[in-house]
Amino acid sequence: MRQLVETLFAEAFDNPYLAKMEDQARLDLSALQAVGDRLAFATDSYVIQPLEFPGGDIGRLAVNGTVNDLAVGGARPLFLSCAFIIEEGLPLPLLQRIVRSMADAAREAGVKIVTGDTKVVPRGQADGLFINTSGVGVIPKGCELAATRCRPGDAVLVSGTLGDHGAAILNARGELGLESQWSSDCQPLHGLVEQMLARCSQVRALRDATRGGVAAVLHEFAQASACSMRLFEAALPVRPEVRGVCELLGLDALHFANEGKLVAVVAAEQAQALLAAMQAHPAGHEACIIGEVLAGPAGQVQILTGMGSERLLDLPTGELLPRIC
């Protein structure tokens, strides 16, 4: 099995770094320095059921997730490591599909998978397949994105519709019995980020809205900057199908995970320019201005409801539980 897997990886991810077959990838410093003056380094582990879902699979997710963690720091993602923990008995064709999809995702994102590891564990000790990826990217000189830089008056933007990934996964588990077909938004964001930063000098902070959704990101921004965030409920972009799932289960799309959407905070005077820059990129063509940064109370996130009243937006805790009864 092990042998088989290693050949599979070597073929799929084929690149000069990997082909050297050393225990470590060796990256040329001068090439990195040509891109910027700081390394960005990120890691994430991917655990998801089902392993394949509309719009992606765990492999594509593992590439794009780490690429996006680098991208929202303003970094150009360059290299990934990947480690597989495979449960004994995972069907080989499934593994092949996932590895190929991972290789495709890496190619599309312009990153190379330069080092890796595989462990096969006995049945019952893993849920099919776990993947960890770590990534290295380079941050161009002068790029200083940080949540602490949000200021009262700034505008809050989102790069597209909320909750597509979370709702697609819920539906893909087949328990909702919904016919409706929509896909996870799983996609790399570094191209979008590059375009945003090239056109707007006053972008304060970016973050990809994965687990905990846009709500969690806004809470992080509010806490880090000691400001408060106010959302306009009427401006939130949510696909009708996703809204249907939310209404059905008593859940909030603001809490749903996304895998290819970012939240941006920008100085008010550049809000329109940033919106235009985002909408001009395929990964941001449904971008919207969804809120603003207020002076306080520090750490709070509020929503201006469609009815014209204000309420708090809670920080999601743990697993999202549907309300049925």
Of the candidates 261, 248, 61, which has an alpha carbon nearest to the alpha carbon of residue 161? Answer: 261
> Helices in the chain by DSSP H: which ranges?
2-13, 16-19, 29-33, 58-71, 92-109, 164-172, 190-199, 213-225, 240-249, 271-279
Map residues 201-240 to x or -, x wherever contact with other proteins holds by CB under 8 A: ---------------------------------x-----x
317 binds other proteins (CB under 8 A): yes
Binding positions for other proteins, 286-315, rule CB under 8 A = 305-312, 314
Among 29, 34, 198, 321, binds other proteins (CB under 8 A): 321
123 binds other proteins (CB under 8 A): no
SS3 269: helix
SS3 67: helix
Closer Cβ to other proteins, 30 or 317, answer by number: 317
Binding positions for other proteins, 148-177, rule CB under 8 A = 175-177
50 binds other proteins (CB under 8 A): no
Closer Cβ to other proteins, 114 or 301, answer by number: 301
Distance in Å from the first CA to the final CA of the chain: 47
Place of tokens 């008010």: 268
The angle at the Cα of 226, spanning 238 to 261, to the nearest 5 degrees, equals 25
Using the rule CB under 8 A, give the single segment among 27-35, 57-65, 197-205, 246-254 that binds other proteins: 246-254
179 binds other proteins (CB under 8 A): no
247 binds other proteins (CB under 8 A): yes
Name the residue type at position 21: M
Closer Cβ to other proteins, 22 or 314, answer by number: 314
Beta bridge partners of 81: 115, 134
How far is Cα of residue 250 from the mean position of the Cα atoms in its chain? 24
Q: Which residues bind other proteins (CB under 8 A)?
A: 175-177, 234, 240, 243-244, 247, 249-250, 305-312, 314, 317, 319, 321-325
